[in-house]
């Protein structure tokens, strides 16, 4: 298998965390890939018409895209994996994955807006992005102790990757001050071997 990915993409990190957690990382060739909203990457577009990372190309030449699909596929290759639990726990894990993915989406849009020249920035959008992230952090801080007690699942991978992206792209935001319980959990996430191996600052 080969994975089109970018080390700064939180969605790609979620996939590589999953690959480490499921023991499938050794079966995957990582293809460092640059994608741009202004122009499609023709190499990626051959396998994914949307030209997005992450994109996983399977051994038979078919491709999977979107981190949710890729992560569930990788988990299916490990019969011992509990990343996608069954029963009521499954819906809780998927809810937390959706929240983590939503945080990533919002942060990416927010960063794009922040990078614009001042005269092109839409302040109302930036205020809305900030409000959404603040609300998500309040919820996660409230749930952090319970999350810490759960077996590691796809929700942990998504939220941990989202907070990691918040750290590397929004260094000026002191999110830990308002979410101390979440900060404590995130420290334990970043100490996991799968997180250490995939942190952008630990990669060439």
Tell me the per-residue pLDDT of 145-183, one tens digit each, with 9 for 90 and over: 999 999 999 999 999 999 999 999 999 999 999 999 999
Residues of the chain within CATH 3.40.30.10 domain(s) are 2-81
- In the CATH hierarchy, which top-level class contains the domain 2-81? alpha beta
Q: Residue 46: phi, psi to the nearest 5?
A: -65, -30
Q: b/e for 155-170, b at 16 or more Cβ within 10 A?
A: bbbbbbbbbbbbbebb
Per-residue pLDDT at 204 exceeds 80: no
pLDDT (0 to 100) of residue 122? 97
Record the pTM.
0.96
Domain 88-195 has CATH 3.50.50.60: no
Domain with CATH 1.20.1050.10 in the chain: 88-195
- CA–CA gap between residue 110 and residue 116 (Å, rounded): 10
């Amino acid at each position: 298998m080969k994975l089109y990915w970018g080390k700064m993409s939180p969605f790609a990190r979620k996939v590589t965390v999953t690959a480490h957690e499921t023991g499938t990382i050794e079966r995957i060739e990582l293809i460092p890939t640059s994608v741009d909203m202004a122009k499609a990457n023709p190499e990626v577009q051959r396998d994914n018409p949307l030209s997005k990372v992450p994109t996983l190309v399977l051994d038979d030449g078919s491709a999977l895209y979107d981190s949710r699909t890729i992560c569930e596929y990788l988990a299916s290759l490990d019969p011992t994996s509990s990343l996608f639990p069954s029963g009521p726990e499954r819906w809780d894990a998927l809810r937390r994955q959706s929240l983590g993915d939503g945080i990533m989406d919002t942060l990416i849009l927010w960063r794009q807006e922040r990078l614009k020249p001042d005269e092109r920035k839409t302040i109302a959008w930036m205020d809305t992005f900030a409000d959404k992230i603040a609300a998500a952090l309040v919820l996660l801080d409230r749930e952090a102790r319970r999350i810490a007690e759960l077996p590691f699942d796809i929700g942990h991978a998504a939220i941990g990757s989202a907070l990691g992206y918040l750290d590397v792209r929004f260094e000026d935001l002191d999110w830990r001050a308002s979410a101390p319980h979440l900060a404590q959990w995130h420290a334990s996430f970043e100490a996991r071997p799968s997180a250490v191996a995939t942190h952008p600052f630990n990669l060439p």
